[in-house]
Amino acid sequence: MTALVQRYHITGSTAGEIAASIEDAIRAGDLQAGGRLPTVRALAAELGVSPVTVAAAYRRLTGRGLLSAAGRRGTTVCPGPLLPSRLDVPRLPEGVRNLADGNPDPALLPDLHAAARSIAFPQRLYGDDANLPALLDLAAADLRRDGLDATALAVVGGAMDGMERTLLAHLRPGDRVAVEDPCYPAVRDLVAAMGMTADPVALDEYGPRPDELARALARGATAFLLTPRAQNPTGAALDESRSAELRAVLDAHPGVLVVEDDHAGAIAGVEASSLAPGHRGPWAVVRSTAKALGPDLRLAVMAGDATTIARVEGRQRLGTGWVSHVLQDLVVALLRDPATAELVARATATYTERRTGLVAALARNGLRCWGRSGLNVWIPVAEEAAAVQHLLSRGWGVRGGERYRFRAAPAIRVTIADLHPDEAEQLADDLAGVLHGARRTGTA
């Protein structure tokens, strides 16, 4: 066995065999996220096959979102390969304060057991309405309060499910999709898995920058995915001024698909602002229950233009058919309960207090950050891995920003969902010690 084959654990004489061996190597952890593969010609020579065969193998895996072709930079394993790997992110050591997982505070979620006891849960059969009218009515009222057209609605299995179905309804492999930079890693992985090209759009605290969106559309992007508030990881949120600027950019490119992932809804802590009103093209706004009612309620309601919603529902009927009526009944019961409204209001206020508390504590220590809305604060650092490790040594578990970024500067993400004020002060002090020390010594 040659050194090259030993290093990469790639074997086979056909495109299918080579692709399968690469997939096995990724799953086993022999090829890791971001790792560069040998060139087509080099691997072909080592395996004794035609370069066309190796290129076909790479192309198969690129189309499935496992590999990424970067021109002269070569072919690499995608940051989030779509395989269960033996090298999953390790759990934090015992005793470390977990500010990395992005979850809402369980103490601010409703009691699902109590809600379930109040529901009869009738047996529903094939041929029944896919979507409960009561759920659609509640969602429509919520959307209309925010100035959105709720004429056409669909119920989907969460925010990512809604985005995937919307992209499938309009785009094809090879299309360019404008996405936020930084963005939620699952979004970039989804785009790659669908064989599309992500075109990063830089952010500030008010969301995507209009000049960056204009550049992405000029390069040929036919869709724009964005998070209007509680942007993960930065906490950015649109206001009416930024929304108007972005609409003006979109007006020059009629027909672009706009998909908004409003995953946090009201608990984001800022008013909703959307690009959908007046948009001259297909659109969808997806609102999930995950952050306000609990991540295991895999349900979201999406509004959109009539064609988009019809295509989404048509494709859904060919697969899952519908979102479980048990989940729909449970969400309806929760949304109708005045106690849920009180809890959501308390959660919104609490998350806002915790987020602004950390932002203020960081500012007192001379550290800048982003955290206008939602459950996360984004803190620029010189070197992510070093900052994460230094904080881990002080008992804090935070998330490095590499998986979220395309071209954005290094940073760490801190989830504030259950971060109490006294902890915020200590975390800011510890982080300041790391970052200010790095500036003095020239290291990080």
Q: Do 207 and 318 reside in the same domain of the chain? A: yes
User: Which residues sit opposite 200 in a β-bridge?
Assistant: 179
What's the pLDDT score for residue 180?
Answer: 98
Contact of 25 with 9, CB cutoff 8 Å: yes
pLDDT, residue 8, reads: 74
pLDDT tops 90 at residue 218 = yes
Phi/psi-derived region of residue 408, left when phi > 0, alpha when psi is between -120 and 50, beta in every other case: beta
**Domain-located, residue 85:** no
Query: Which domain-ending residue is among 336, 358, 373?
Result: 336
pLDDT of amino acid 316: 94
Tell me the average pLDDT of the chain.
91
Neighbours of 310 (CB within 10 A): 14
pLDDT of residue 443: 40
On the question of pLDDT at 3 being above 50, the answer is: yes
Please tell me whether residues 379 and 321 are part of one structural domain: no
| Per-residue pLDDT at 4 exceeds 70 | no
Tell me: do 139 and 275 sit in the same domain: yes
- What count of other Cβ atoms lies within 10 Å of the Cβ of residue 407? 8
235 in the same domain as 220? yes
CA distance 236 to 261: 13
- CATH number for the domain spanning 360: value is 3.90.1150.10
Cβ-based neighbours of 436, under 8 Å, separated by 6 or more: 366
When pLDDT is averaged across residues 250-257 and rounded to a whole number, the result is: 96
- What pLDDT shows up at residue 173? 87
Identify whether 345 is part of a domain: yes
The answer to whether residues 43 and 125 belong to one domain is no
Same domain flag for 324 and 350: no
Residue-level pLDDT at 96: 96
CATH code, 69: 1.10.10.10
pLDDT tens readout for residues 398-443: 999 999 999 999 999 999 999 998 899 999 999 998 787 654 444 4
What the block records as the tokens of 127 is 């041929």
Residues 320 and 361 in one domain: no
Phi, psi at residue 206, to the nearest 5°? -105, 15
pLDDT in tens, 65-117: 788 776 666 888 887 656 554 444 557 899 999 999 999 999 999 999 999 99
Confidence of residue 185 (pLDDT cuts 50, 70, 90): very high
User: How do 207-208 and 197-204 pair as beta strands?
Assistant: antiparallel
Is the pLDDT higher at 338 or at 194? 338
**Domain-embedded: residue 114:** no
The rounded percent of the chain whose pLDDT value lies above 70 is 93
> What is the share, in percent, of the chain residues with pLDDT greater than 90?
78
pLDDT (mean) for 20-31: 86
Question: Helix/strand/coil (H, E, C) string of the chain?
Answer: CCHHHHHHCCCCCCHHHHHHHHHHHHHHCCCCCCCECCCHHHHHHHHCCCHHHHHHHHHHHHHCCCEEECHHHCEEECCCCCCCCCCCCCCCCCCCEECCCCCCCHHHCCCHHHHHHCCCCCCCCCCCCCCCHHHHHHHHHHHHHCCCCCCCEEEECCHHHHHHHHHHHHCCCCCEEEEEECCCHHHHHHHHHCCCEEEEEEEECCEECHHHHHHHHHCCEEEEEECCCCCCCCCCCCCHHHHHHHHHHHHCCCCCEEEEEECCHHHHCCCCCCCCCCCCCCEEEEEECHHHHCCCCCCEEEEECHHHHHHHHHHHHHCCCCCCHHHHHHHHHHHHCHHHHHHHHHHHHHHHHHHHHHHHHHHHCCCCCECCCCCEEEEECCCHHHHHHHHHHCCEECEECHHHCCCCCCEEEEECCCCCHHHHHHHHHHHHHHHHHHHHHCCC
Query: Among 155, 159, 220, which residue's Cα sits nearest to residue 186?
Result: 159
pLDDT at residue 227, rounded to an integer: 98
Question: In the predicted model, is pLDDT for residue 366 greater than 90?
Answer: yes
Q: Which domain holds residue 424?
A: 97-106+340-441
Q: What is the pLDDT of residue 69?
A: 75
186, 236: one domain: yes
pTM confidence score: 0.84
Rounded Cα distance between 421 and 179, Å, is 34
d(CA 348, CA 370): 18
Is residue 111, in this structure, part of any structural domain at all? no
Is the predicted pLDDT of residue 163 greater than 60, yes or no?
yes
Which one of 301, 316, 336 terminates a domain? 336
223 and 294 belong to one structural domain: yes
CB-based contacts of 229: which residues, under 8 Å, 6+ apart?
Answer: 237, 238, 262, 264, 268, 270, 272, 273, 373, 374
- Distance between CA atoms of 424 and 403, rounded to whole angstroms? 24
Per-residue model confidence (pLDDT) at position 338: 96
Among candidate residues 336, 366, 397, the one where a domain is terminated: 336
- pLDDT for res 30: 84
Q: How many domains does the chain have?
A: 3
